[in-house]
A and B are shown apart, each in its own frame.
Chain A
Amino acid sequence: MDEIVISAGDTAWVLASSALVLLMTPGLAFFYGGMVRAKSALNMMMMSMVALGVVSVLWVIYGYQLTFGYEANSQWYGAFSLSGLGDVVNELANNGGVYPIPLLVFAAFQLMFAVITPALISGAIADRAKFVSWGIFVAIWVTVVYFPVAHWVFAFGNKEGDTVTGAGFLAARGVQDFAGGTAVHINAGAAALALAIVLGRRIGWQKSPMRPHSLPLVLLGAGLLWFGWFGFNAGSALGANATAGLAFINTQVAAAGALLGWILTEKIRDGHPTTLGAASGAVAGLVAITPACAFVAPWAAVVIGFIAGVVCALAVGLKYKLGYDDALDVVGVHLVGGIIGSIAIGFFGSSAVNSLGLNGLFYGGGTELLVKQTLGVVLVMAYSFVATLIIGFAIEKTIGFRVANEEELIGVDQTEHAESAYELGGILKGGR
C-alpha cells in the first residue's frame, strides 16, 4: 500500500473545525443562560462548562477508545483501553478508510461532539438540579449512552485493505448521519425528555411567569452556535474538500430557512415575530441540517430548514399539553429537529451531490433509505430514553438529583454556587 502522507490543508481545516465546535459549548451556555431567570443563570451556564471538564478528561482516559476503538470488533461499542491515547500519537485517522490527518486531530474533533451532547440535555432541567449530581450524571451518561451510540453511528471501522473491523451497527448498515442528527441531537433530545420526567416540574410551572432574563444573551449564544456549527458540519468532512463546501452552504441556508419559518409561524399564530423565536428557529434549522448537510442539494437544505422552523415552533408548545417541564425545549428543538433532518435524508438524499450518498424517495431511490433512516432514529431514541431514565432515577434515589424546594425558590446560583450573576453596584448591594 502506498504511504499516505499528512495533508496540511485537511489537517488545518479539521483543527480549525475542532476549535469552532469547542466554541459551541460556551455558546450554548449563553443561549441557555439567557433563557432562564436571573437567579439561576450561572447554574445553567455551569452545567455546560462542567461538561467541558468531565467529558474531555474521560475522553482521553477511555472515551475515544470506547467510541472509535476497533480491537473488540463490536457493532455496539469500541474497545476498552486505558492507554490514555499514548499509543496512537503517530497514527493517521482511519474511520472506514485512512484520512490524511493525524488520528489525534480526529480524536480532538470528535471530543468536541462528546462535550456538547450532554450539555444540550441540561436545558431540560433548568433551575432545579443539584450541580454535583449533574456532574456525575454527565460522566455516567457519556460512558453508557454517548460513547456507545456515537460508535453505532460514527464509527466506520478500521479499514486495512478490504477488511473493515469494528464498524458501528448503524454505520455498517448505511444509516446516514453526516454530523450527528442521531448521535448528538436525537440522543440529547430523548435524554432531555427522560430527565425532565425524572426531576419533575419546577415550582410554579405554568402558573407564574418564567421569563427569559436576558434575550440579548440568548441571541449572542445563538450566534456563537451558528458560527461554531460550520465546524460541526463542514468539519465532519474531515478534509478541506467539496463535501465540506456542500455541508457549509447547506448549514447556512438551512439555518436561514428555519429562522424565517419559526418567526413566520409566530407572526401568524401570535401576532409578533420574536427575538427568542429567531434564535430558536436558527438553532432548529442547524439541528435539522446536521445529519443531512452533505447528502442534499442546497435548495433541499432550505426546504428542510423551513420545515424544521415551522414544526419545531409548533412542537415546543406540546409540553404544556403533555405536562412535562422541559424548561428550555430541548425536546421540541433537538429531538424534533433531529428527527426531521434524519428522516429528510430518506426523501431528499441525492447521490448526485455526494457520491457516498444514496438517492432518497424524491430521487428515485425508493423507500430503502427512508427505512434505514427510520431505523436509526427509533433505535437511538429508544436506547437513549430508556438508559437515561434508568441513570436519572438511580441518581435521584441515591444522592438525589433535585434540590430542596426552598433552595429552588431562593435560586440555585446562590444555593449551589454561592454566587449571583449580576452585581450592578447598587447602594444596597455594598457596591459604593
Chain B
Amino acid sequence: MKLITAIIKPGKFDEVKSALRSAGVKGMTVSEVSGVGRQGGHVEVYRGAEFPIDLIQKVRLEILTEDKDVDAIINLIVKTASTGSIGDGKVWTTSVDNVVRVRTGETGETAI
C-alpha cells in the first residue's frame, strides 16, 4: 500500500478532484498549505512599499491506494495539475505498513 501526497496549485484543485473521482478514486484528504519551492514568492505593494511574500498557498492531496493503482493515479494528477509553468507542484509516494478502518476494524487493503 502507498500514500500518495500531491502539492498542487489551488486553481487546479477542482479539476484534479473531478478527474480522480471519475477515475474511481473513492477517498482523499485535502488541506490548504503554504510553502516555498523553486517558484519562490511574489511581491505585493502597499503604499509604494514592496513586501516580498515568500510563502505561497497550495493545496495538499493525500490518497491511500493499493500498489497496483499508484502509477495510474500519479499520472492522472500530473496530467491534470500541469500548466507547464513554474510552481505546478510535486507528487510523491510513501510506503504504508497497515491501514485500519475505524468502524469495522478491517485491516490492510480491504480497509482502503
Q: Do A and B bind each other?
A: yes
Interface assignment of A274: CB less than 8 Å from any CB of chain B: yes
| Chain A residues positioned under 8 Å from B45 (CB to CB) | 266, 270, 272, 274
| Chain A residues positioned under 8 Å from B51 (CB to CB) | 209-211
Are A274 and B49 closer than 8 Å at their CB atoms? no
Are A276 and B47 closer than 8 Å at their CB atoms? yes
Q: How far is the CA of A314 from the CA of B49 in the complex (A)?
A: 11
Partner of A317, one of B44, B48, B52, B53: B48
A-B contact count (CB 8 A): 33
Partner of A329, one of B44, B47, B53: B47
A-B contact pairs, 16 of them (CB 8 A): A209-B51, A209-B53, A210-B51, A211-B44, A211-B46, A211-B53, A212-B46, A266-B48, A270-B45, A270-B48, A276-B47, A313-B47, A313-B48, A316-B48, A317-B47, A320-B49
Contact mask for chain A residues 376-391; partner B; CB cutoff 8 A; 1 contact, 0 none: 0000000000000000
CB distance from B44 to the nearest CB of A (A): 7
B interface residues, how many (CB within 8 angstroms): 9
Contact mask for chain A residues 160-193; partner B; CB cutoff 8 A; 1 contact, 0 none: 0000000000000000000000000000000000
Are B53 and A316 closer than 8 Å at their CB atoms? no
CB distance from B51 to the nearest CB of A (A): 4
Q: How far is the CA of A24 from the CA of B111 in the complex (A)?
A: 62
| Chain A residues positioned under 8 Å from B48 (CB to CB) | 266, 269-270, 313-314, 316-317
**Which residues of B pack against A, CB within 8 Å?**
44-49, 51-53
Interface assignment of A110: CB less than 8 Å from any CB of chain B: no
Q: How far is the CA of A313 from the CA of B47 in the complex (A)?
A: 7
Closest to A328 in B: B47
Closest to B41 in A: A209
Partner of A277, one of B44, B47, B52: B47
CB distance from A212 to the nearest CB of B (A): 6
Partner of B47, one of A209, A272, A280: A280
| Chain A residues positioned under 8 Å from B53 (CB to CB) | 209, 211
| Chain B residues positioned under 8 Å from A314 (CB to CB) | 48
| Chain B residues positioned under 8 Å from A276 (CB to CB) | 46-47
CB distance from A44 to the nearest CB of B (A): 16
Contact mask for chain A residues 245-276; partner B; CB cutoff 8 A; 1 contact, 0 none: 00000000000000000000010011010101
